[in-house]
Structure 1
């Protein structure tokens, strides 16, 4: 999820193996007060409903300015209707507008008022005005799309990186483009998921799709990106970075004067490191070592990493970290960073998806549980450092709740992994390992809910787990 001061980067996690649990809790309590005020009703999605549109294919061609802070081009999205009902519309989520909304004077589009992400020239449908604080764009299709049929929409897109150190922002000469590309919203049994953006935490919910992205940029910029990437010469003093990413929920990239290094894990995953000038050499080295170890270990525990390559983007000032498919953003000091937690997210949300607004614990608590296990932390008494506000607070609450109870959001990072370790003690380590691997297999590239996990856990034991869920505030 996102914990970067007043901005947005992920996980806290951190290299919790290097910090006493109580210090980690204190940090979380401080940062937890910064959760966004955005509130909207949202509920968990029934996994039995046919989510649509699915099997999306994104074809993107963008060209940057001299420093990678502004990108313009075209994007085409084709999709299938998985629903039994005709699909009459689609929505794009322009998450890059989340913090700036519909624009502010002197903002990213200065002079004037505009949002950081602007879509225009829509083809293949009729666009309505932006809604949900300029993060949702409805496009009415020219005719109803029947079950199993495909359609596409295309549009011009302009992306201006905001002047803030955030997952969509900048640090010195580095540009971060997380959640910058418009992506399809999801419709299921609950209707269209059009939840508001939250700056600390995530609102994201997407089905997997395929991306083919062409990024034209100055040759002096390195451009790490989601997917398998390669480069070729462009125009004078320019380079074209090409990326192909299959079965991913989003696409992110960065641009800057990075130093780079590449190594391959014993399990065959290519780990590409990019670090900005001024980033601790010791921290870069440690993060690379831990990344190589973690990507293989989690592959053994949860299922082999399917993307072949992962990029680590490291700077000295980025707060915490933020995960994207095949790419993680990391604040890196001499003690390393949140690389293990962020790589755990490649499975928990990336491969095993969930509605992050409705059920943030399903990715954050699971990633932190994996992080704790990687470092071999002692968890027998971890509840002693967890402050539980009252009996009405549920670990499984949505971002709508956490946005109104900011000081409690740390629970998904503290109480969440404690609950999973208690479940491990209840089932036994062997059964817990089988549970997680089987649960991941059953929801590979799909979407899971809390009820799905509870059913999977119950299948591992004859003991009624109802009292366990109740005592651990897992609704």
Structure 2
């Protein structure tokens, strides 16, 4: 779940609200026993999709490579022989229809200012057999053809290898002046600012935000896959809740914060941190050189403020304000359903806001 809090400076705080939960798959389920022996919470976990992602992030090159193991459970009433994934980073407000000459060159330049994700290989997790896949809908939908149809109540696990990149956003684009000009211009034209993938996938002002860096399963509603993505004034992300285990490898000195709890291991020149979270709608990453954080505890909830060193004073002020707000919320409505709430500093790209 992602929310935005504006500051007076041309920087916003991206609140990544995380739910941390222990692994709830019972030993009996792990041994293949019938799931009816599990408790209700354990059954729900078995029915949720599960992502196990290994990501190598090159902060300086604005690129990444990754591999994910995805488990999907067929909760519909019919068998299916294909899985569908969204590639949100490839969504464009206006899709190119083909061009030549100077127009093609202009499209190439414009594409360099957008995030991109590319799927390089898909295989079965059971036997590593290569699976055929197709990119549909201008490269925004990945269709994986399974070797065997998945019956109702059955599951499939696939391995997807991918790579991607994000653009460098001009700091001027995140200024208050630019925001005002864009919004006034849109109002004069009678138009609305449409959400773009680059709004949540970029590097700017020493920070990198990865909001849609991995292929994510499309929603399977009944027996139909909800494949279509329509950019609008609202959030472009439409996912089902899932469980995540994500390992992020970065160069030493690059700090990483995500939508889940993490355990860190270090080797020469590199740092690997593994994050786990249950029932998450999506998984976002904020990274940067020297990012700092401070925490406060309200009841059973940990509130964390994440900020750049030069904005330490603002980061501490945000933590204080957030702590007071959380205390008021808890007193009036009871404790929130979150074990940890991260408030992370990030530039606000013009068009998002």
2:322 maps to what in 1? 291
Distance 2:350 2:91 in 1: 20
* Cα distance, 1:255 vs structure 2: 1.1
Distance 1:102 1:126 in 2: 28
SS in 2 for 1:78: strand
Distance 1:98 1:92 in 2: 13
Distance 1:286 1:148 in 2: 50
1:210 paired to 2:243: yes
Q: Which of 271, 274, 297 matches 1:265?
A: 297
| Structure in which a larger fraction of residues adopt strand | 2
Distance 1:75 1:191 in 2: 24
Q: Which of 151, 159, 163 matches 2:156?
A: 151
1:98 maps to what in 2? 91
- Deviation string for 1:315-346 (max 9, x for gaps)? 4x425999xxxxxxxx9xxxxxxxxxxxxxxx
Contact 2:296 2:323 (8 Å CA) reproduced: yes
Q: How does 1:388-427 map to 2 (within 5 A)?
A: none
- Deviation string for 1:87-119 (max 9, x for gaps)? 222111111112388895256779xxx961111
1:122 maps to what in 2? 122
Contact 2:256 2:288 (8 Å CA) reproduced: yes
* Cα distance, 1:14 vs structure 2: 5.2
Contact 2:78 2:151 (8 Å CA) reproduced: yes
Q: How does 1:438-457 map to 2 (within 5 A)?
A: none
1:172 paired to 2:201: no
Kindly tell me: are residues 63 and 14 of structure 1, through their superposed partners in 2, closer, same or farther at Cα, counting changes over 3 Å?
closer
1:220 maps to what in 2? 253
Q: Which of 72, 97, 100 matches 2:65?
A: 72
SS in 2 for 1:67: coil
* Cα distance, 1:167 vs structure 2: 1.3
Q: How does 1:373-388 map to 2 (within 5 A)?
A: none
Kindly tell me: are residues 107 and 303 of structure 1, through their superposed partners in 2, closer, same or farther at Cα, counting changes over 3 Å?
farther
Kindly tell me: are residues 304 and 247 of structure 1, through their superposed partners in 2, closer, same or farther at Cα, counting changes over 3 Å?
farther
Larger RCO of the pair (alpha carbons < 8 Å, separation 6+): 2
Contact 2:78 2:223 (8 Å CA) reproduced: no
Distance 1:277 1:232 in 2: 23
Please tell me the root mean square deviation across aligned C-alpha atoms, in Å: 3.3
* Cα distance, 1:230 vs structure 2: 2.2
TM-score (norm 2): 0.67
Distance 2:332 2:81 in 1: 42
SS in 2 for 1:250: coil
Q: Which of 190, 198, 222 matches 2:231?
A: 198
Contact 2:76 2:222 (8 Å CA) reproduced: no
Kindly tell me: are residues 282 and 131 of structure 1, through their superposed partners in 2, closer, same or farther at Cα, counting changes over 3 Å?
same
1:386 maps to what in 2? none
* Cα distance, 1:180 vs structure 2: 1.6
The unaligned stretches of length 5 or more in structure 1 are 2-8, 19-52, 323-330, 332-475
Contact 1:62 1:214 (8 Å CA) reproduced: yes
* Cα distance, 1:146 vs structure 2: 1.2
* Cα distance, 1:262 vs structure 2: 2.7
Contact 1:128 1:137 (8 Å CA) reproduced: yes
Distance 1:303 1:283 in 2: 28
| Structure in which a larger fraction of residues adopt helix | 1
Kindly tell me: are residues 70 and 199 of structure 1, through their superposed partners in 2, closer, same or farther at Cα, counting changes over 3 Å?
farther
TM-score (norm 1): 0.51
Contact 2:303 2:341 (8 Å CA) reproduced: yes
1:313 paired to 2:344: yes
The unaligned stretches of length 5 or more in structure 2 are 9-45, 97-106, 125-129, 175-198
- Deviation string for 1:166-185 (max 9, x for gaps)? 31111122111012222110
1:243 maps to what in 2? 275
Matched pairs, number: 273
Distance 2:251 2:316 in 1: 28
Contact 1:65 1:217 (8 Å CA) reproduced: yes
- Deviation string for 1:129-148 (max 9, x for gaps)? 32223211111221111122
SS in 2 for 1:287: helix
Contact 1:225 1:243 (8 Å CA) reproduced: yes
Contact 1:232 1:240 (8 Å CA) reproduced: yes
1:357 maps to what in 2? none
SS in 2 for 1:129: strand
* Cα distance, 1:272 vs structure 2: 2.2
Distance 2:319 2:291 in 1: 13
